[in-house]
Structure 1
Amino acid sequence: MRKLLYKTDYGKYYIGKCESEIKRLKLKGKVQLILTSPPFPLNNKKQYGNLVGEDYLNWITNLAPLFSEALTDNGSIVIEMGNAWEKDRPVQSLLHLKSLMRFVENPEANLRLCQEFICYNPARLPSPAQWVTIERIRAIDSFTHVWWMSKTDYPKADNRKILRPYSKSMKKLLEKGKYNSGKRPSEHVISEKSFLKDNKGSISHNVLELKQIDETKELRLPYSMLSISNTKSNDYFTKTCKKRNIIPHPARMPLELASFFIEFLTDEGDLVLDPFGGSNTTGFCAEKLKRKWISIEANEEYGYQSIIRFEEPSFNANIRKGEFFNGIQSGNFENGGR
C-alpha cells in the first residue's frame, strides 16, 4: 500500500484520509502535538473538499476520539478554525462554534479545553466580500479561533519558550531598577521588587497578533515566531507557486502560528502530527525546530505543492521521494510536482 509521498530528515508526508492513515500508521500514544487547520465549516464547497452543515458537524465530532487516542498522556491538540457565515445572508453561522464544542465535549475523547487563542491577521483579504466590500454592511472578518485541548489538565507546556521581547518601557525599568510600587486602584499591592527580575522576555498573550494593530507601537512577536517569520519562507513558497503557475492552497496556516505552538507545547525530538497537511506549514515549521513530524493530506495536488516549502535555498532540506511519489508522479522535485 503506497501512501508515502516524500520524507525528510525529521518527517513524512502521506497521501490519504486521516481517518484511515492514523490507524494504519499505528500512532496510538505516540503524538505529542496534533496541530492542524481542518477544512473550515463553510456553507459552500471549496476546492480543498470541505463538508457543509450537519455533515461537517458530525464528521469533525467523530474525529475527536481518533485524535485523542494518538496523543501521549500529556500531549495536546491545537485546532485553528475560522468563522462561518450563513449562505447568501450577512449573518454569522454558529456551525464553527458548535463544531469546536462538540469536538471537545465528545465523551469518547476525554478532552478538555486548556485555553482559547485568537489569531489576528490584519493582512487578510476583506471577507465576506459581498457584505464587506460590495454592500458595505459588515466589518472585515480578520481573525480565526485557535483551541488548545488535551486529555489532562496539565499537558506538556512551557511559556518560557515563547517569550516576547520586552517593551522599551520595561527595558528602561530594568535599567533604572525602581518604579512606583504600592497599592493600586484595583487594590493590588505591588512590592518594590515585583518587576525587577529579568526573565529575558515577557509572557505571551493568547491573542496572536501577526502584524501590529497600532503601527506606532513596536511589534513584539514571541522569539520563536520571529525566527520562523524572518526566514521569508512564506514569500518563497508563494513566489515559487506563482512562477510555476501553481494555485497555492487557499487556506494556509500562518507560519508564525504553527511555530508558536510547536515551540510552546513540544521539545526537540517530539512527534507533531497534522491530519490535514495541505501545503505542510506544520511539517515545515516542525522541521525547522527539529521536531519529528507526520502530515496527512487527502488532496494529492496539495501534497506535491507542499514540497516547494522544503526547496527553499537557505533551508538545505534533505527531501527523498516516497513510494507513492515514484508510482504516480512523472515529474521531479525541481518542477514542484504537477
Structure 2
Amino acid sequence: MAAATNGTNGVHNGVNGSAHAVSRPLTPGIYAPIPTFFLPGSEDLDLEALSAHIVRTANAGVLPLLAGSMGEGIHLTHSERVTLIKTARKALDSAGLTRIPIVAGTGTGSTRETVELCREAAEAGADYAIVIASGYFAGVLAGSKKALKAFWSEVAEKSPIPVIIYNYPGASGGIDLDSDLITELAQECPNLAGVKLTCGNVGKLTRIAATVSDPSFASLYPRKNPNAPFLVLGGFIDFLLPSSYANAHGAITGLANVAPYSSVKLFQLSEAVHKDPSLLPEAQRLQAIVGRADFTIAKASISGTKALMEKLYGYGGVPRKPLPPIEPEAFEALWAHPHVQDIVRVERELSGKIAS
C-alpha cells in the first residue's frame, strides 16, 4: 500500500491506485464541506452531481472537504467514502485542477477504525484528513483531557496523511476542546495540520492563532510535512474578517456550497485590507451580508442547504434517512428571507463578473 509519506506530499491519483508525486499544499483560504448527493429513491451516491459541484466550487477558488458533517460522513460506509474521494480526484484532474487538494472526513467511533479510515482515504487520493471525536461515549471522554489528547495524538502519529482536528461540540456529544489542549496537540504532534473550530468561539481561535501563527512556531515545532502548516480555521464564515486580524487562516463553511464566489471574495478582502486599509468598508459590508446569510442558512441545516443548491444549480436533493428533507413551506420562507436574497444577489454579481 503506497501512501503520502514524504515531505512533498506525494499522493495517489485516486483512480487506479498508482502513486504520483503532486504537491498539494494545505493553504489558508475557504474550504467547503461538500454535501454527499444521493439518487432519488435508492439513496445511492449521485456521483455526477458530486463531480459537477466539486468542479463548480473549485473554479470559484473553494477547496473541497468530503465526508464531513455537511457531507453526512456518519451516514457513509467505508467504501462510499473511498468512492467519493476517487470520484472527486478524477473530476478535479479531468478539469485541469490537479493541484487542488482533497480533505476527507475520517472520524468514527474508535481510534482503531479512525486510523483505518485515514489509511483508506490516503490510498483513495485524499491529501489530508479531518477527524472529530465520537460523542457516543462523551460522558467519559468530555471530562478526560488525557483520553482526548491520546486520541488525536495516536491518530496523527499513525495516519499516512496530515490530520486536522475537528472541534464541533454539537456533533460530538458536547466534547469541546479548549485552547490549551489544542495548542499542546499542535506543539507535540508534527502530523497535525490544523483545527476547524465549529464551536464558534472567537476567543479560542484568537488564543490558538497567537501561538501557531507566531513566526517562531514553525521552527520550534516543525511539521512532518512542510506543505501542511498548522492552520486555524473557523467553522463558520460569519467572523472571517475579525479572525483575519487575529492571524487565523480562513474558514471551512457550508455557505461556500451556496455562495462560493462571495465566500472567496470575503477572504480575499479580509487579507488585502491589512495592506490597504481603504478596503475595510467594503470588507465590512460583504462580511455583514455573508454573516447574516451564514446564520440564516445554517439554521436550515443540511436539508436547507441542499434545497437551496437544487434551486440555484439544479442538483442537491435530500439527505439520507433518517434526516428529513426540509418542508416545502419552510423552504419557501428560507428562499424568500432577505438574508438569502441578499447573498444570492451578491453571488450572481460576483460570479457574473468573473465569468465575463
Q: TM-score, normalising length from structure 2?
A: 0.35
Structure with the greater alpha carbon radius of gyration: 1
Structure 1-normalised TM-score?
0.36
Tell which has more relative contact order, 1 or 2 (C-alpha 8 A, sep 6+).
1
